[in-house]
Each structure stands twice: as structure tokens, then as C-alpha cells.
Amino acid sequence: QKEVEQNSGPLSVPEGAIASLNCTYSDRGSQSFFWYRQYSGKSPELIMFIYSNGDKEDGRFTAQLNKASQYVSLLIRDSQPSDSATYLCAVNNNNNDMRFGAGTRLTVKP
Amino acid sequence: EPEVTQTPSHQVTQMGQEVILRCVPISNHLYFYWYRQILGQKVEFLVSFYNNEISEKSEIFDDQFSVERPDGSNFTLKIRSTKLEDSAMYFCASRGQGGTEAFFGQGTRLTVV
């Protein structure tokens, strides 16, 4: 079983819509969860992290964590064309080493 | 703002040659990582390094790979005898004590011909 799983997409949403990105992880002991954004040819850039069950909001972004279901998601409200990128879910293991999912490619159409 | 710096940005090498990829982590960080991303594929963990030794390494990190922190600032990845399939973007990352998020450098694109 893969450590971190994401739908590879592509996910396409119209400008102004809500984009919903999902991620599941296999290590029930994981404590820290991250969403990174990666533009083509660039390095991953941290968007948000979440440690506790529930929702965490930061501007147009909301991260949601459900440890019982081993599920973490990212919602992007009022999606903009500049949000078009690959979104990487990452989870820290027992050594605090980060493992990434394959990423979901998001396209926001004007 | 502190950042992770990687050099060179692009390295072209012939198959069988040795390459050294260099990274300068954020100055007060203690945990260092190398990741690899083959074009169009996922970011793959290679190795983590703490307290001057390897903490964990993946199955990708075989005997051809080694890491070193030769001084107080640099963190290097050496590939002894490069293969065509080593062509990828290599990212260095660092994390501070008590912090959990890793900060990435801009990457070195390695092309093996």
C-alpha cells in the first residue's frame, strides 16, 4: 500500500469555483500533514499544514483532517487561473521525514 | 527571508561520471533531506540526515549515492557513477529543531547523457 495516495487528476474547475483535493495516508501514527503547491519546473512551496482533526482556514484555502479515516483534504475557494498547479499532499512519518503523494494536477479555466 | 540554496541549477554529465550536487540549508536548521523528481512523476524521498549521520534512506538510495556535510553550511549529494535513469530534478530540503515543515531549495536539474 502506498504511504500517501492522491488522485493524479487532472482536476479542472472554472474560475471562481471551489476546488477540492483529497489525500489518504497509510500510517495511522502520522501526526503532521502538509499541502504543497508545485508549478511546472519549480520546487514545492508550502501552502498549509495541519496537525489536529477538523478544519484549518487560511485565506482562500481550507485544510481538513480526519485522523480516524486517515484522510486529509484541501479546499480552494474562489479558484483563480494562477492556482493552476500540481498540489502535493505530504505526511510526516515517525522520524518526521516527509513522504509525498503523487500530486493532483489542478487547472482553473478562465 | 532565509532560504535553501542549491547549486548548480542545471548539470549535464556523461553516463558513468561522478556528480556532486550542493545545497546550503537554512542556517539554524538541523534536519536535511534530498528528494528526487523524475520529469512528470512524483517527488520521491531519497535520504534524511541529522546529527552528521543518515537517519533514513529509501531503496532508491543505493551504494551509488552518498551524502556529506563537509562543513557547517554545505550538504552534498554525490552520485558515483551516473546512469541515464538518474536524470531528474533533485531537491534539497531542511527543517528546524521543533519545526515540522520542510523548506525546499529550487532544485538541480541533472541530465545524464
pLDDT class of B101 with cuts at 50, 70, 90: confident
pLDDT class of B113 with cuts at 50, 70, 90: very high
Q: What is the pLDDT of residues B3-51, one digit of tens each?
A: 999 999 999 999 999 999 999 999 889 899 999 999 988 899 999 999 8
Q: For A43, which of B45, B48, B91 is closest by C-beta distance?
A: B91
User: Minimal Cα–Cα distance from A50 to chain B, Å?
Assistant: 10
Q: For A102, which of B42, B102, B104 is closest by C-beta distance?
A: B42
* Sequence-ordered list of residues with C-beta below 8 angstroms from that of A75, at least 6 positions apart, any chain: A18, A19, A20, A21, A61, A62, A63, A64
Q: For B105, which of A43, A88, A103 is closest by C-beta distance?
A: A43
**Beta carbons of A100 and B35 less than 8 Å apart:** yes
Q: What is the pLDDT of residues A45-73, one digit of tens each?
A: 999 999 999 999 999 999 999 999 999 99
Place of cell 534524511: B48
Q: Does B5 touch chain A (CB under 8 A)?
A: no
State the cell numbers at A90.
505530504
Q: What residue type is assigned to position B21 of the chain?
A: L
pLDDT the model gives residue B71: 86
* Sequence-ordered list of residues with C-beta below 8 angstroms from that of B16, at least 6 positions apart, any chain: B81, B82
Place of cell 485522523: A67
**Beta carbons of B101 and A88 less than 8 Å apart:** no
Minimum CA–CA partner of B3 in chain A: A45
Question: Is residue A54 within 8 Å of residue A33, measured between CB atoms?
Answer: no
C-alpha to C-alpha distance for A21 and A24, rounded to whole angstroms = 11
Task: Flag residues of chain A having pLDDT under 70.
Answer: 1-2
pLDDT the model gives residue A1: 60
